[in-house]
């Protein structure tokens, strides 16, 4: 199934400006044509909000919204949205996710460069590139991605109660080039995954190059640079995925994956966590597991996010007239249940809005780290396209077939 919006409502806005990445002291990218455009944000379900670059106020969306560079988008516990461009880029944004459009501009070579920062949560990006000079750049707190025509799933997950954040990039079609904050290069092919982790704090940017740990989950588990044991690391990733967006769909997927029966209390996740702890290198076929995971997010979880759009007042932390726990779960989340290190989006209505302690990371540090990684991959693009450099043994250019057949939500 091709990634297509139900409709495109684009109004092209031309802004003559010099693009600069804020917060990291970099100079404007003068080798890029100074032309910024707008993307279109379609709220699909639940609570979807945007904040303009020049504003401190979040607006709950009930209709499409133009998104300009510097604008941010966030979703609540049941929120689902699509960010699209006229050139064939579509980003599906899942619950409890925060992203920022970093740039959408023309380069000197005539190509269009789409740049996005993802601070927390899950997105699925599909790119139908007509112009070979077009590029999609996605930056997370631990790495930056350079894409030219492919599909991939990106997850940024808090590792509560630690001040850590992890990021995973799972290939669904073709190859995603990932540049970690320590400058390691990875080619993420279909049914392989890049995984990385860093401790965030006030001085995170100054230590990114030394603090980031990164690895590649390829056709088989192995000990590679960054982590002592890839099996243990993959188990951590599965736990973080569950604890970062705990809902009925994710629980059912993991129980089916692990061969577990539905317990008497389906909201109790102890059986899932125990079974993940018991996994070994022979318990799961990695490529099949990753393929199933992508398929779940696109073809099961995405269609299940079909609640009505939230009321205009939803998301302000108050229980306003006409709001209920059903149509605005974020405003009805019980504060007494927040703080158990599990982002309970389904049963409780927790999200990065209603329970940042369980669902979010250090926002300022995450933004600064993502901006630093964005500067790195922008520099690669400006310098004439992705440059290959030698990678440590076992890192990059390994695993996965070159053919892919990912689907799109």
The pLDDT of residue 127 is 86
Average of per-residue pLDDT across 325-342: 95
Residue environment code for 110-122, b if the CB has 16+ CB neighbours within 10 A, otherwise e: ebbbbbbbbbbbb
For residue range 243-262, what is the model confidence (pLDDT) as tens digits? 999 999 999 999 999 999 99
Residue 409, pLDDT score:
59
Tell me the pLDDT band of 206, cut-offs 50, 70 and 90.
confident
**Region of poorest pLDDT, from 93-107, 322-336, 349-363, 373-387:** 373-387
Question: DSSP 3-state helix, strand, coil percentages of the chain (rounded to 5)?
Answer: 20, 30, 50
The answer to which of 56-65, 186-195, 312-321, 339-348 has the lowest mean pLDDT is: 186-195
Residue 310 predicted with pLDDT over 70: yes
Residues 227-241 have a mean pLDDT of: 81
Q: Judge contact between 352 and 96, C-beta under 8 A.
A: yes
pLDDT, average across residues 357-364: 89
Asked whether residue 6 carries a pLDDT value surpassing 80, the answer given is: no
| The two structure tokens encoding residue 28 | 């404007």
Average pLDDT for residues 227-251, to the nearest whole number? Answer: 87
Count the helices and strands in the chain (H runs, E runs): 8, 19
DSSP structure class, residue 26: P
- pLDDT bin (cut points 50, 70, 90) of residue 111 is confident
What pLDDT score was predicted for residue 148? 78
Mean pLDDT for the chain overall: 81
Furthest-apart CA atoms within the chain: distance in Å: 61
Residue 152 CB neighbour total at 10 angstroms: 29
Query: Kind of pairing, strands 135-140 and 112-127?
Result: parallel
Mean pLDDT of all residues in 364-376: 92
> How many residues make up the chain in this entry?
409
230: confidence class by pLDDT, cuts 50, 70, 90: confident
End-to-end CA distance of the chain: 8
Domain spans in the chain, listed from the N-terminal domain onward: 15-301+360-382
Burial of 306 (0-12, 13-18, 19+ CB in 10 A): exposed
Give the pLDDT mean for 222-246: 77
Residue predicted with more confidence, 236 or 76:
76
Q: Please spell the DSSP secondary structure of 274-342, one letter per residue.
A: HHHHT--TTTS-HHHHHHHHHHIIIIIIHHH--PPBPPTTTTSSS--TT--TTT-GGGG--GGGTTSS-
Cα separation of 115 and 1, whole Å? 25
CB 362 within 8 A of CB 180: no
Q: What percent of the chain has pLDDT over 90?
A: 55
| Fold of the domain built from segment(s) 15-301+360-382 | Jelly Rolls (2.60.120)
Q: Would you give the distance in Å from CA 341 to the centre of its chain?
A: 19
Q: Do 10 and 269 meet the contact criterion of CB atoms below 8 Å apart?
A: no
- Across residues 18-47, what is the average pLDDT? 59
Residue 401 has pLDDT above 60, yes or no: no
Specify the pLDDT at position 283.
76
3-class SS at 18?
A: coil
Identify the pLDDT of residue 204. Answer: 67
Q: What is the pTM of this model?
A: 0.83
- Dist. CA 354–CA 123, nearest whole Å: 20
Contact 214, 142 (CB under 8 A): yes
Lowest mean pLDDT among 42-56, 123-137, 204-218, 312-326: 204-218
Query: 40-49, 157-166, 259-268, 337-346: lowest mean pLDDT where?
Result: 157-166
In angstroms, the CA 230 to CA 227 distance is 6
CB hemisphere CA count around 360 (13 angstroms)? 21
**Torsion sign (Cα): 250, 252, 258, 262:** positive
* pLDDT > 70: percent of the chain: 81
Of the candidate ranges 90-99, 206-215, 221-230, 285-294, the one whose mean pLDDT is the lowest: 221-230
What pLDDT is stored for residue 163 in this prediction? 76
């Amino acid at each position: 199934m091709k990634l297509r919006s139900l409709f495109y409502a684009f109004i092209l806005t031309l802004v003559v400006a010099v693009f600069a990445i804020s917060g990291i002291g970099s100079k404007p990218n003068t080798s890029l044509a100074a032309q910024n455009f707008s993307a279109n944000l379609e709220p699909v379900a639940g609570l979807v909000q945007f904040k303009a670059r020049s504003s401190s106020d979040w607006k709950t969306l009930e209709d499409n919204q133009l998104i300009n560079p510097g604008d941010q988008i966030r979703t609540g516990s049941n929120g689902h949205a699509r960010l699209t461009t006229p050139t064939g880029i579509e980003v599906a944004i899942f619950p409890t996710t925060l992203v920022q459009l970093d740039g959408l501009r023309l380069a000197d070579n005539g190509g269009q460069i789409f740049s996005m920062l993802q601070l927390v949560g899950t997105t699925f990006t599909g790119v139908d590139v007509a112009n070979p000079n077009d590029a999609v750049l996605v930056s997370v707190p631990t790495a930056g991605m350079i894409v030219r025509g492919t599909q991939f799933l990106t997850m940024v997950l808090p590792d509560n109660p630690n001040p850590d954040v992890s990021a995973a990039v799972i290939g669904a079609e073709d190859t995603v080039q990932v540049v970690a904050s320590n400058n390691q290069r990875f080619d993420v092919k279909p049914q392989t995954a890049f995984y990385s982790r860093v401790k965030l704090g006030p001085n995170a940017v100054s230590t990114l190059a030394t603090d980031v740990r990164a690895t590649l989950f390829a056709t088989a588990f192995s000990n590679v640079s960054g982590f002592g044991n890839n099996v243990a690391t993959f188990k951590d990733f599965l736990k973080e995925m569950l604890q970062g967006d705990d809902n009925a769909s994710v629980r059912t997927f993991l129980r089916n994956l692990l061969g577990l029966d539905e317990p008497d209390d389906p909201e109790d996740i102890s059986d899932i966590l125990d079974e993940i702890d018991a996994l070994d290198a022979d318990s799961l076929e990695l490529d099949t597991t990753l393929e199933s995971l992508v398929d779940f997010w696109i073809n099961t979880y995405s269609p299940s996010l079909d609640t009505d759009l939230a009321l205009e007042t939803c998301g302000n932390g108050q229980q306003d007239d006409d709001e209920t726990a059903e149509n605005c779960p974020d405003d009805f989340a019980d504060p007494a249940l927040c703080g158990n290190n599990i982002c309970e989006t389904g049963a409780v209505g927790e999200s990065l809005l209603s329970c940042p302690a369980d669902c979010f990371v250090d926002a300022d540090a995450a933004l600064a780290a993502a901006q630093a990684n964005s500067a790195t991959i922008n520099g690669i693009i400006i310098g004439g396209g992705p440059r290959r450099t030698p990678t440590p043994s076992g890192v990059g250019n390994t695993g996965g077939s070159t053919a892919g057949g990912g689907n799109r939500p």
